[in-house]
Amino acid sequence: MGTQRVIRTVLASGLLCAAGCLDPRAADVTPAEADPALQSLDWMVGSWAGQDEDGGRQEEHWIAAAGGTMLGLNRVVANGRTVFFEYLRIEQRDDGIYYIANSRGRGESEFKLVAQEDRRAVFEDPDHDYPVRILYWRAGDVLAARLEGEVRGRRRAEKFEWHRVSR
């Protein structure tokens, strides 16, 4: 098979997969066996945007739970450039629910769900350098997150707020 044909085949396969991902019925698929704790995080679903301290545009996007996962993406754009991105996943496992962050594609960090109430979730990994704790909560059309931990022996916290762009 020639190089051009391989490239066309790969591109066509990618387009078919992307078209399937865009099927509006896919958002309605939630397996009956999914953990209620994972399904109850659906208040995070949607597209959210806000500004950071430096004037950069922050975006966070979450899709509904299906197949034992919720998938998310965080991006910061400043001065016309992507200055930060993070692939996010909330995953159902036998021993609980985990928030997995992959910052800039440089490896994953896992945080276990340790507390959950109405529109509030706390994920922790006491062995992680920073953050040790990630909190998410929602108030109306605002999704917020707070990172907590220590850096060089000093307590540090960062807060983020995003407003709903779409569901």
> CA 13 to CA 117: how far, in whole Å?
41
- Measured on CA atoms in the order 166, 63, 119, 83, is the torsion positive or negative? negative
> CA 112 to CA 95: how far, in whole Å?
9
- Tens place of pLDDT for every residue, the chain, 167 residues? 454 443 344 333 443 344 444 444 344 444 445 568 788 999 999 999 999 888 889 999 999 999 999 999 999 999 999 999 999 999 999 999 999 999 988 889 999 999 999 999 999 999 998 999 999 999 999 999 999 999 988 999 999 999 999 87
What homologous superfamily is domain 31-166 in, according to CATH? Calycin beta-barrel core domain (2.40.128.20)
Amino acid at 49: A
